[in-house]
Structure 1
Amino acid sequence: MQGRLALLTGTSVALAVLFAGTTSFFITRWSLLDQLDHELLASARAAATIIATNPRNDLEDLAGPAITDQWLAVVSAAGETVSVPNGARLFTGPQEIAVARLQTGSSARSIDVIQADGASIEYRVVSVPMTLLDNNDKPTRHAVMLGRPLTALNSTLKSLWVVIVFAGLVGVLVTTLAALWVAQAALAPVRRLSMAVRSVTQTDQLNPIRIYGRDDLGELTKSFNSMLKSLQSSREQQRQFIADAGHELRTPLTSMRTNIELLVADDKAGMLPEGARSEILDDVSAQLGEFSALVGDLVALTRDDHLQRKLEPLDLSEVVESALSRARRRGPGITFDVELDHTQCLGDAQNLERAITNLLDNAVKFSPPEGTVTVTLNSGVITIVDEGPGIAEDDLEHIFDRFYRSDRARNTPGTGLGLSIVAHTAEAHGGTVRAGNQPGSGAKFTLRVPNLTPDAEPSP
């Protein structure tokens, strides 16, 4: 990129210098020729006046010291030319004959003139009309031609062209080198950013990059540092989740392995007392159920189905009723005090039902055997209150963390992921979930899901 920027700058400057130099050269040439034409025309008119007032003057007398670098001639309307003796030889053209015949205007042109020694030199020739009297005193039409060599002017223009070319080359070179230096300095942050990306790829170290300014590249570096910080946080969360999941999975697996080893040993030695084998099998079945529930919770918590699954309009009361039917089967002695309105919302019925079921299971788990669980739905706000011991103040801020279990829940069945799934589902639906305590009762959970207004359109 650095080389391309320098090449682009150098090319642009070269084209600009070429255009400006060429334009300046031709404008200067035109200006010098125009100035020379004015001088020659003035001299030609003066010569025409002298010749007209004294037509018998010898032309050689007119080519005195004042005009030694000029060539003078008189052209008749018939095209006959009388020039200074021993002067340059000039061929009359149609421009001079037209001036002589029409007796109006003037002409100017550049021609190659053959000198007396045979050399060819470029001349600038002008002509003006003039009237002479012949021997019978009759007026005859003529034109005065005056020429001057362009040697000095061409030499000046040649020197000017050399200066333009030299100055242009120097300017292009200096500009290209300056552009190369500026590009190198300007792209230094980009190179540092590129090296940082390469370092992250090669070393897997998410180290932040130093910010050298507050320009656009500085903002880009700041954004890249934010991305690295987010990746680092995500990586730490992933490591912690894997460690926690491994720890939670290890417990049921170890217990099942122990029980299975006992069953295998009993097949060989028959050492277990009567009825113990059935108890071990029941224990294994319960551990398998716990293991399956833990795996299911892990999958539900880590998948991103909510990013792809289409949310549909649904009646939230129907979802709550479906979750209540499950909770009643799991807590046959629990009384459910239910008050639901018909709230329309936009969501995924399966995920919402699982989240509400987790809240109800939590209420059933901590309620006394003959307790009451109060469930209300009002304008998209689901409130579940149990009659259990409630939630300790120290546990409220961690209650929705993965694998977190309070001291009161250590000896109760569960995976420690149920409430995390609730928070995950609420966030996916653009809602919130809060935990607290109901005065005079137990724990209180409030799940809020955005309503779908009657005139709202489902999102794609």
Structure 2
Amino acid sequence: MIRIRDIVRRWRERSHSLQGRLARITATGVALAVLVIGVGTYFTAQQSLYHQLDQELVEVASHASGPISTDVEGMGGLNASALQSANVTLILLRADGTVRRVQSMPATITPGPEELAIARTQQGSSVRSVVGQDDGVLYRVVAVPLQTESGNYAMVLARPLDPTRTTLSEIRNVVTIMGVVLIALAGLMGFYSGRQLTRPLKELSGAVKRVTETDELIPIGAYTEDELGELSRSFDTMMHSLASSRDRQRRLIADAGHELRTPLTSMRTNVELLVADEKTGMLPPGARAEILTDVAAQLGEFTSLVGDLVQLSRDDVVTPNPEPLNFATVVASAVERAKRRGPSLGFDVELEPLFIIGEPDTLERAVTNLLDNAVKFSPEHGTIHVRLAGEELRIWDEGPGVAEEDLDKIFDRFYRSNKARNTPGTGLGLSIVAHTMNAHGGTVAAGNQPGAGALFTVRLPAAPPEELAEYDD
């Protein structure tokens, strides 16, 4: 059984929610509008009805003034029955205060100073509401001037206000009922609209709560065509980015663990041999030096691998310290480094200026990786060709090239083709190239140069002159 306490608790929760606040705001706004319109309607109707009643009494007075002015004593032939049928009480008030009434008419009202002033001044008219002295009924009293041969009078006419007040009461009841109905409908519409408006927020809140509780990066997937829908789209974009980043992180950790295990295992084996030899002297002459040389090479490979992992783990979309630079200068510097690593090789270099916004260190390392790859697979006394024209950098060697089945995988992390398995390297160099170029808004592609070896094509967008000018400022 649902307890009253639970009902009250749920009502309080809803009343403090955004949906409840929207319903209250809507209902309050409609209530104020209904109050203003209702009060205005009531008083307008009251003024209109009173004005209409006053005009009717003035018309009755104008019709009766002719006969009465020639026969004051007989009240113009008017009798109680005729006046009662018109629902009017008629009194003649003389300037000296004398009151004349139609015979058999009850003395329901008594003229006051307002009517006496009309009788004496014979100007204007007076209108007021007064309570009858005998029946306690509220009357509307109108006084108009009347001149006769026997003196100046004020013709005073009175009519009960009960019919008018009944009409006003009905108007007030209708306005009140309609106001209550409109306020209730406004509250319901506000509640429904609030539910429709807050549904995306509730879905977003539920998605955030689900991520917090389950660590599952599940997007919402449903959008509305408004600002809340844009917020949901932004949230889903964030979820996709986080999911992609998490997948990259997991893949990097798994690949790194696999790749780091090999040099670490080899180093541990060599160190264990050195420790055992320290105790037993089992190694033949010269073996200890070979093992130390092997350990030093493994440490160098390990250091290179760690450096590549650190570089590759940077997922910045925008480079940390971008600056305007000539990409041709970066390529030239990378070529000089490659020449020292391949002293027996020739370099055919043609560079045209290409001004971009980027980070020179990371770009130079990426180009160096491409050149190191060319040095690694170039034959003795071979030539490495470098061309920079427009927004395109092309580097190719005279080696065996890239197998067709390896072209789609060559930029994957830790991927090494069958030709590269016996050569030094970490398998991360080309991945770093792809990552760096993507971070600078460019691309890199692998292929084979006809009649030569592997071909790598880098495309980087040139910076607009106005963007370069901003850095100069």
TM exceeds 0.5? yes
In 1, distance between residues paired with 2:318 and 2:201? 34
Letter in 2 for 1:409: A
In the alignment, what sits opposite 2:112? 92
Unaligned runs of 5+ in 2: 1-17
In 2, distance between residues paired with 1:207 and 1:449? 35
Question: Retained in 2: the 8 A contact 1:385–1:438?
Answer: yes
Q: 1:11 pairs with 28, 31, 41, which one? A: 28
Letter in 1 for 2:88: Q
In 2, distance between residues paired with 1:122 and 1:344? 97
**More deviation, 67-76/246-255:** 67-76
What do the CA deviations read for 1:270-318 (whole angstroms, capped 9, x no partner)? 1111111111111111111111111111111122566353322223333
Q: CA deviation at 1:67?
A: 1.6
In the alignment, what sits opposite 1:143? 154
Q: CA deviation at 1:408?
A: 0.8
Question: Retained in 1: the 8 A contact 2:145–2:155?
Answer: yes
Q: How does 1:300-339 map to 2 (within 5 A)?
A: 300-304=311-315, 307=318, 309-339=320-350
Letter in 1 for 2:94: S
In the alignment, what sits opposite 2:9? none
In the alignment, what sits opposite 1:162? 173
Q: Secondary structure at the match of 1:416?
A: coil
Question: Retained in 1: the 8 A contact 2:370–2:430?
Answer: yes
Q: Secondary structure at the match of 1:9?
A: helix
In 1, distance between residues paired with 2:181 and 2:330? 81
Q: Secondary structure at the match of 2:445?
A: strand
Q: 1:347 pairs with 358, 381, 385, which one? A: 358
In 2, distance between residues paired with 1:266 and 1:230? 53
Unaligned runs of 5+ in 1: 135-139
Q: CA deviation at 1:393?
A: 1.1
What do the CA deviations read for 1:36-73 (whole angstroms, capped 9, x no partner)? 112211222233222112122158x6351122343322
Q: CA deviation at 1:324?
A: 1.9
In 2, distance between residues paired with 1:455 and 1:110? 84
Q: 2:91 pairs with 53, 57, 73, which one? A: 73
Q: 1:357 pairs with 363, 368, 377, which one? A: 368
Q: Secondary structure at the match of 1:108?
A: strand
Letter in 1 for 2:51: D
In the alignment, what sits opposite 2:53? 36
Question: Within the alignment, does 1:396 sit opposite 2:413 as a pair?
Answer: no
Q: 1:279 pairs with 281, 287, 290, which one? A: 290
Question: Within the alignment, does 1:419 sit opposite 2:435 as a pair?
Answer: no
Q: CA deviation at 1:221?
A: 5.2
Q: CA deviation at 1:9?
A: 2.2
Instruction: State the identity as a percent.
Output: 52
**More deviation, 449-458/21-30:** 449-458
In the alignment, what sits opposite 1:125? 141
Question: Within the alignment, does 1:64 sit opposite 2:84 as a pair?
Answer: no
Question: Retained in 2: the 8 A contact 1:101–1:141?
Answer: yes
In 2, distance between residues paired with 1:18 and 1:87? 41
Question: Retained in 1: the 8 A contact 2:386–2:393?
Answer: yes
Change (3 A) 1:309 1:199: closer
Letter in 1 for 2:406: D
Change (3 A) 1:383 1:170: closer
Q: Secondary structure at the match of 1:369?
A: coil
Change (3 A) 1:450 1:412: same
Change (3 A) 1:179 1:382: closer
Question: Retained in 1: the 8 A contact 2:318–2:440?
Answer: no
Question: Retained in 1: the 8 A contact 2:357–2:468?
Answer: no
Question: Retained in 2: the 8 A contact 1:346–1:450?
Answer: no
What do the CA deviations read for 1:335-355 (whole angstroms, capped 9, x no partner)? 222223344333222111111
In the alignment, what sits opposite 1:243? 254
Q: Secondary structure at the match of 2:318?
A: helix
Question: Retained in 2: the 8 A contact 1:431–1:448?
Answer: yes
**More deviation, 150-159/398-407:** 150-159
In the alignment, what sits opposite 1:137? none
In 2, distance between residues paired with 1:58 and 1:302? 114
In 2, distance between residues paired with 1:223 and 1:450? 27
Q: How does 1:219-238 map to 2 (within 5 A)?
A: 224-225=235-236, 227-238=238-249
Question: Within the alignment, does 1:449 sit opposite 2:460 as a pair?
Answer: yes
- The alignment covers a number of residue pairs equal to 449
Q: Secondary structure at the match of 1:383?
A: strand
TM-score, normalising length from structure 1? 0.88
RMSD: 2.7
Q: Secondary structure at the match of 1:457?
A: helix
TM-score, normalising length from structure 2? 0.86
Change (3 A) 1:306 1:17: closer
In 2, distance between residues paired with 1:315 and 1:204? 45
Question: Retained in 1: the 8 A contact 2:312–2:435?
Answer: yes
Q: CA deviation at 1:87?
A: 0.7
In the alignment, what sits opposite 1:253? 264
In the alignment, what sits opposite 2:8? none
